[in-house]
Amino acid sequence: MNYIDIIGLFAGTCVTISVLPQIYKVWKTKKVKDISLKTFGILTFGILVWVIYGILKQDLPIIITNSVSLCLNLLMVYFIIYYEKE
């Protein structure tokens, strides 16, 4: 792994963990009233495209960080849909 990959992993990790405080808050409060499903839906789709792009380029930092980010954002979309009903 070279320094470019390390920079890519670091950047991807920062972006990936940025959603964790929001997920934690929603999980604890069960409130999603002010969270946009459209925004998280578009973001999640964009991350999926990044995963596909990373696979096509065979770029491991892009694949790893965006795959984790995809899972976290899918969880957030699930929370929004699930808790919106309550």
Confidence of residue 19 (pLDDT cuts 50, 70, 90): very high
Q: What is the DSSP secondary-structure string of 15-37?
A: HHHTTHHHHHHHHHH---TTS-H
Helix (H, G, I), strand (E, B) or coil at 73: helix
pLDDT digits (tens, 9 = 90+) for 37-77: 999 999 999 999 999 999 999 999 999 999 999 999 999 99
pTM of the full structure: 0.90
Q: Which CATH number fits domain 3-84: 3.10.129.10, 3.40.50.150, 3.40.50.10680, 1.20.1280.290?
A: 1.20.1280.290
Environment class of 30 (CB within 10 Å of its CB; exposed 0-12, middle 13-18, buried 19+): exposed
Per-residue pLDDT at 86 exceeds 90: no
Number of neighbours of residue 39 by Cβ within 10 angstroms: 10
